[in-house]
Chain A
C-alpha cells in the first residue's frame, strides 16, 4: 500500500532511525567492522597463490632452447622440477598417481621447430581431479610461457594453448576482493536490515508505527537510510584498504563503480527488509538470512566461476544481485570497462532494489497476526 508520500514524515522517520543506530555503539561496530576486516583478512587467506608444485620434466629435445624453457618454469618458485622420468607415458603415470603435481613434456623436435621460427609445441600434464591446482597451475604455466615469449632473445614464438582475456592479476587477491566485498556487503546488509526491522515487531513498536499516518514506503526508506550510509562507509574503507594492501587497480571510472556499489547496497538492504516481513523474531531472521545469503554467495561467481556451474544454476544466477555486482566490479576494477559494457548488470541491480522495496512495502502492513 503505497501512497500519500510525505518528505516531512520521511525526515522524521530518518531522524529516529539515525538516533537509534548512532546511539548504539555496539551495533555500529558490528556493522562497520566485518566488511572492512573480512575483506582484508579473507583477501589474504583466500589468496590462491600457490608455490612449490612438483613438476616432472621429460626433455626429449635436450637442447639449449629446452633447458631455457625448463629454467623459465623453475625460476619463480612455482614449479619445482623433479628430474626426468623416462618417457611421456612415465610422466603421465606419475601425475596420475599423485607422485608429482604436474608434468612437462618437451618433444625431440622442439629445438628444431624453434630454430625454424615455427611455434614449438610442448605438452603440459595436470591431474584434473584436483581441478583447483590444475586450473591455477595451467594459469601459471601460461603466464610463464607468455613471459618467456616476451623475453624475445632469441625470438622464440612459443604458443601457449591457454589464453586469458585479461591479466595475470587473475592469479592474485585482485580476483577475490570484488567477490568478497560483494559477499560481505550482502551478508551483513541483509542481516542488519532484516533484524533492525523485525525488532520493531519483536518489541511491539510496529503496531504503534502502523497506527501512525506514515506510509509503508516512508517507513522502509527510513530503515534503509542509516544502514546505507554505514555500508557505504564500509565499502569505501574496504576498497581503500584493498588498494593499499593488495594494490587493487582502479582501471575503470571510480565514481561509476561507487555509484553502482550504492545501488547494490540498497538492493542488499531491501532484500533484508523483505525477509523481515516474512518472519516474526530476531532468531528467525538470523537463520533465514543465513539460508538466503549462503547460496547467493556460493552461486555468484565470487569463489567459483559461474561458467563452471551446471546450465540450470548458471541461468538461476541471473536473479542473484551478487552475481551482477561481481561481474560489474571485476569489469570496472580489473578490466576498466565502462557503462556501455555493464549496463545490463546495472539494470538488473536497479530492478532488484525496486522490486524488493515494492514487495516489502506491500507486505509491510499485512504482516501483523
Chain B
C-alpha cells in the first residue's frame, strides 16, 4: 500500500477550482460565495451541519446544477465538459436493484464508453479492491447497505475518472465496511485520483488531507484536520467518570476556565485553554457536584471538537426542548414491554434472523448493533408486527395475541430506516396527519406539533414542502412524528443516520428523556459511541446474537489491553501491523491506530515493525476499550460462516 501524504504533492496541479460559487434557489440562498481548490490526489472533505449547502456544492461540481454565479473548473474545464472524467456518487443509492453486480457495472461502462478490454480488467481489479469478487451474479437489491455503497463506488470508478465526487457515501454503512471504504479511498488518492467527499462522520473526516467546514452557505474553516484542531487553540481533557450524564451537566454549569463541554459515549470532552489549570477547574467542579472521576487525560482536540465548538461559536445550536408530556411517567415495575423468544425469520433458505431472544423492560433503552445485513431491521419488523416470524413468540405490552390490533398500535411508535414522511405534503400537514391518526386532542396536538417544529428548528417554515428539506432535517421531523403520540414502546431504526453531530446529541437527550418517562426503546445505530446511551445492547452478526449485555460489561469482557498508536502515516502503519497481528487486533480510528495487546511484548513488537516500515510513531498510550473497539473485535473474531 503506497500512501501519498498531502505535503508530498509538490508543485501540485489543481484539479478542482472553485471561486465565488453562489447558488440561489427561488427563496433560499444555498451557497453564498465559496472558494476552494483541490489538488491532484488529495482527499478533500466537506463537513457541516444538515442543510449547510454540501449537496448543492456537489451538484454544481457534477454539472447537474447551474450555479447562480462563480467560477468553477474541474480538470481545467467547465463542469459539464469535464463530466467524462468525473465520477459522482449521490446520496441516494444509484444502483439498479434488479440487475446483478456485473450487469450494473456493464451498464455504467457502456454509458461511459469503456472499451471491452478495459472493462474486463477494471471490473476484476475494482471488485477485488472492494471485496466483491466472485459474487458478480448477485442482484444489487440483495446486497447489504455497505456492499451497495462499495458497488456504487465501483460503478463510479469503472470509467477511471480523475475526479471523484462522493456525497455522504458511508451513511447507513456499518463501522467495519466504513473502514474498508476509506482504505479504498486512500489507495485511490495515492494513485492520483482527486476526491471530494462529504461525511457526517467526523472520525472519517480526520482521514481527509484537508477539510472545509461549511455552514449556512459559506466556508467557515479550511485546512488540514491538524491545522483546524490547532486553530481552536485549546487542549482537550478526556474525562471518564462514574456518571457521564451527571458529569456533563455539572461541567456545563461551569462558566470560568472551560471553553466547551461535549459528551462522547463513555467520556466527556472538555475544551480548555490550559491543561493543568483546566484539570484543576474540572476536578473542583466535579468534586463539588459529587461526581466520581475515574481519569482525566489531556490531548489535542479532535475534528469533532472543532466541529461542535466552531458551530456553537457561529450560533448554530440544536436546542433541547423537553417533550410536552401529558401522560404520567410510568415507573419501571419490572414488567416487560417487549418479550421476544426464539425469534427466527427465514427468507427462502436464508436465515435472516436465527433464534434470537430479546427482552426489554419499560424505561429501558436497548441497542441492536451489527453489520449491514445482520438482521437488525428484520428483528424490529417482527417485534412491531410488520413481519410474521417463521418461528418464535412475541409479547408486546403484555399481549401475546393479535399484536396488530389498533389498541396495541396506538401504544407503539416506529421510525423506520426508510424515510417515512410524505414528501409531497408540507411539513405541517405531515405532522397534523400523524397527530390526527393517533387521535391526539386538539390542545395536546398543537403543543406536540409545536414541539416537533422547535426541536427541528423549522418554526416559521412549516408550510415548506417536505421533499425540499435536507436529509438530516427530514430525519428530525420523522423522529418527532414517531414520538408525537407518546408511545410506551418505541422502535427506532437508525434514527441518527445522516444527521449532523449536534443534532445527534439532541436526539439522544430526547431518547434518554423518553426512557426516563418509562418508554421502552429499541434502537439501532452505526455510531458505536452513541450506543453508550443504551442500558443494554447486543451485537448481531449473520442473524444471530453474538454478545449481549450492558456497555460496561461488554467492554470489560474484551480480551487483552488496548493501545492507541499515533503515527505520521496511518494507512501504511495499519498495513504493516495487519501483517504482524490478526485483523481483529488492529483497527484504524480516524488517523490513529488501535492495537489490542495480548502479551506484554506486543506493543514493542508493533512499534518495532512500524519503525522498520519507515513509519514515525509519535505517541503510544493505553486506552480503555470503547464500544467500537469491542464491536470490531467481537465481529472480526467470529469464525467466518
Contacts and interface: CB of A to CB of B under 8 A. Distances in A.
Partners in one complex: yes
Interface of A: 1, 3-4, 6, 8-9, 11-13, 15-16, 19-20, 23-24, 203-205, 207-208, 210-215, 365, 368-369
A361 B422 CA distance: 22
B611 to A, nearest CB: 53
B419 A212 contact: no
8 contacts: A3-B406, A4-B405, A15-B436, A207-B414, A211-B384, A211-B386, A213-B438, A368-B386
B416 interface: yes
Given A214-B437, A365-B404, A207 B425 contact: no
Contact of A20 (B381, B409, B414, B422): B422
Given A365-B404, A368-B386, A16 B425 contact: yes
* Closest 7 pairs between A and B when the two form their complex, measured CB to CB: A12-B436, A204-B418, A208-B420, A213-B406, A211-B414, A4-B406, A212-B437
B437 A204 contact: no
A1 B404 CA distance: 9
A368 B388 CA distance: 10
Contacts of A205: 420-422
A205 B465 CA distance: 16
A221 B419 CA distance: 25
B429 A16 contact: yes
Nearest to B435: A12
Contacts of B414: 207-208, 211
Nearest to A211: B414
A15 B433 CA distance: 8
Contacts of A3: 406
A130 B580 CA distance: 89
B434 interface: yes
Interface in B357-413: 381, 384, 386-387, 404-407, 409-410, 412
A17 B209 CA distance: 49
Main SS at interface, chain B: loop
Contacts of A1: 404
Contacts of B622: none
B424 interface: yes
Contacts of A6: 439
A23 B465 CA distance: 10
A203 B439 contact: no
Contacts of B424: 20, 23-24
A8 B436 CA distance: 8
B483 to A, nearest CB: 13
Contacts, number: 80
B252 interface: no
B299 interface: no
A23 B416 contact: no
B498 to A, nearest CB: 15
A250 B124 CA distance: 73
A213 B422 contact: no
Contacts of A208: 414, 416, 420
B442 to A, nearest CB: 11
Given A4-B406, A213-B438, 14 more contacts: A9-B437, A9-B439, A15-B429, A19-B426, A20-B424, A20-B425, A24-B424, A204-B418, A204-B420, A208-B416, A212-B438, A213-B406, A214-B437, A215-B406
A211 B409 contact: yes
B437 A368 contact: no
Contact of A213 (B386, B387, B410, B418): B410
A11 B407 CA distance: 19
Counting chain A CB atoms within 10 Å of each CB, the highest count among B387, B424, B437 belongs to B437
Given A20-B424, A23-B424, A205-B420, A210 B437 contact: no
B419 A204 contact: yes
Nearest to A204: B418
A28 to B, nearest CB: 12
A20 B407 CA distance: 28
Nearest to A8: B439
Contact of B429 (A4, A9, A19, A211): A19
A208 B404 CA distance: 13
A243 to B, nearest CB: 36
A212 B434 CA distance: 8
Contacts of B387: 368-369
Nearest to B387: A368
Contacts of A24: 424
Nearest to B419: A204
Nearest to A20: B424
Contacts of A365: 404
B277 interface: no
B423 interface: yes
Contacts of B386: 207, 210-211, 368
A208 B419 CA distance: 10
Contacts of A214: 406, 437
Contact of A203 (B423, B433, B434, B438): B423
A52 B519 CA distance: 83
A204 B416 CA distance: 9
Contacts of B412: 211
Contact of A16 (B419, B420, B422, B439): B422
A369 B429 CA distance: 29
Contacts of B438: 212-213
A213 B422 CA distance: 18
A19 B420 CA distance: 17
Contacts of B425: 16, 19-20, 23
Interface in B19-35: none
Nearest to B412: A211
B346 to A, nearest CB: 13
Nearest to B411: A213
A70 B424 CA distance: 68
Contacts of B422: 16, 20, 205
A4 B437 CA distance: 13
A221 B436 CA distance: 16
Contacts of B437: 9, 12-13, 212-214
Contact of A12 (B381, B433, B465): B433
A368 B347 CA distance: 13
A205 B387 CA distance: 16
